[in-house]
């Protein structure tokens, strides 16, 4: 069964969502991220994707206190991303309750450091954030598109030990018009042993079922829940114990 991973995106300590990564489209859904995390836990979710959007812009970890509160007050296994650039950022994230961390921009701009994290912390604790706009890797909170092609980028890091990869098609993110199923199929055809986590565009249970049928092992969702397109009963249907 496909694994559902809820996302909480943070700006100014609040739970927000953007559309296609554009900070000007910020919409606040909840003022207290802990309440949202507890709700996800109540609906059988076991993991949480916690994104520090302020950190992504600032280039350093910012919302580690919120991370800590959620880690202490829930049993969710938290993947923390956004603004992780230095070894110290990872130390802070892990010390404040993160089980895994996601690095995206760092894998492009400072690959030696990212490679050292795989060695130091273990490949199973580091997730590669491979987010793309028109199949080109985007970094810096999605505000900069690079010349790196998506699939070769994923392959190169998978060969260096990366197991889990989160891929967002930025054109779909926040649009509630369905995920890039064919893109994810292509990634798995090219790199079948990668643990691919789809992100962006999920608008319904049918979208999740389509991803599951395509063999995608996990999917991140957010706006569809906050906007009421996914209900608690839908999440309970897909809830399952984690390894």
pLDDT per residue over 176-200, tens digit each? 678 999 999 999 999 999 999 999 8
- Neighbouring CB atoms inside 10 A of 185's CB total 15
Distance, in Å, from the CA atom of 1 to the CA atom of 78, rounded to the nearest integer, reads 20
Angle (CA) 139 210 194, round 5°: 50
The predicted pLDDT at position 243 comes to 46
The predicted pLDDT at position 18 comes to 83
**pLDDT, tens only, 119-148:** 999 999 999 999 898 899 988 666 678 889
Distance, in Å, from the CA atom of 64 to the CA atom of 59, rounded to the nearest integer, reads 14
The predicted pLDDT at position 112 comes to 97
CA neighbours within 13 Å on the CB side: how many for 213? 8
The predicted pLDDT at position 242 comes to 46
Q: What is the DSSP string of 204-223?
A: SHHHHHHHHHTT--EEEE-H
Give residue for tokens 């092992």.
217
Element (H, E) at 151: helix 150-159
Distance, in Å, from the CA atom of 3 to the CA atom of 240, rounded to the nearest integer, reads 8
Q: Are 3 and 218 in contact (CB under 8 A)?
A: yes
Residues of the chain with pLDDT under 50: 242-243
The predicted pLDDT at position 95 comes to 98
Give how far Cα 201 sits from Cα of 88, 144, 161, 164, 179, Å.
33, 20, 28, 20, 4
- Residues 6 or more apart from 205 whose CB is under 8 A from it? 230, 234, 237
Give residue for tokens 């199923």.
181
Question: Judging by beta carbons within 10 Å of its beta carbon (0-12, 13-18, 19+), is residue 38 exposed, middle or buried?
Answer: middle
Tokens describing residue 27: 């919409």
Give how far Cα 177 sits from Cα of 65, 135, 200, Å.
34, 18, 9
Give how far Cα 118 sits from Cα of 48, 83, 143, 205, 210, Å.
21, 17, 26, 34, 32
Catalytic amino acids?
9, 131
Q: How far is CA 91 from the centre of its chain?
A: 19
* CATH class for the domain made up of 3-238: alpha beta
Tokens describing residue 201: 């565009």
Q: Are 144 and 151 in contact (CB under 8 A)?
A: no
What angle in degrees, to the nearest 10, is found between the helix axes of 87-95 and 64-73?
Answer: 30
């Amino acid at each position: 069964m496909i694994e559902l991973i809820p996302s909480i995106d943070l700006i100014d300590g609040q739970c927000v969502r953007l559309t296609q990564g554009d900070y000007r489209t910020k919409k606040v859904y909840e003022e207290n991220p802990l309440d949202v995390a507890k709700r996800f836990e109540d609906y059988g979710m076991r993991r949480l994707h916690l994104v520090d959007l302020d950190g992504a812009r600032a280039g350093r970890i910012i919302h580690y206190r919120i991370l800590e509160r959620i880690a202490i007050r829930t049993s969710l296994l938290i993947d923390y991303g956004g603004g992780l650039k230095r070894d110290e950022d990872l130390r802070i994230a892990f010390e404040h309750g993160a089980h895994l961390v996601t690095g995206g921009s760092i894998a492009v701009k400072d690959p030696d450091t990212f490679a050292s994290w795989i060695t130091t912390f273990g490949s199973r604790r580091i997730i590669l954030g491979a987010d793309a706009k028109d199949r080109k890797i985007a970094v810096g909170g999605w505000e900069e598109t690079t010349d790196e092609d998506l699939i070769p980028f994923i392959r190169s890091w998978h060969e260096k030990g990366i197991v889990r990869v989160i891929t967002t098609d930025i054109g779909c993110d926040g649009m509630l018009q369905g995920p890039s199923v064919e893109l994810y199929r292509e990634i798995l055809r090219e790199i079948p042993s990668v643990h691919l986590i789809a992100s962006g565009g999920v608008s319904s249970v049918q979208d999740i079922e389509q991803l599951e049928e395509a063999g995608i092992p996990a999917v991140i969702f957010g706006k569809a829940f906050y906007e009421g397109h996914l209900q608690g009963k839908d999440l309970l249907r897909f809830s399952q114990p984690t390894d």
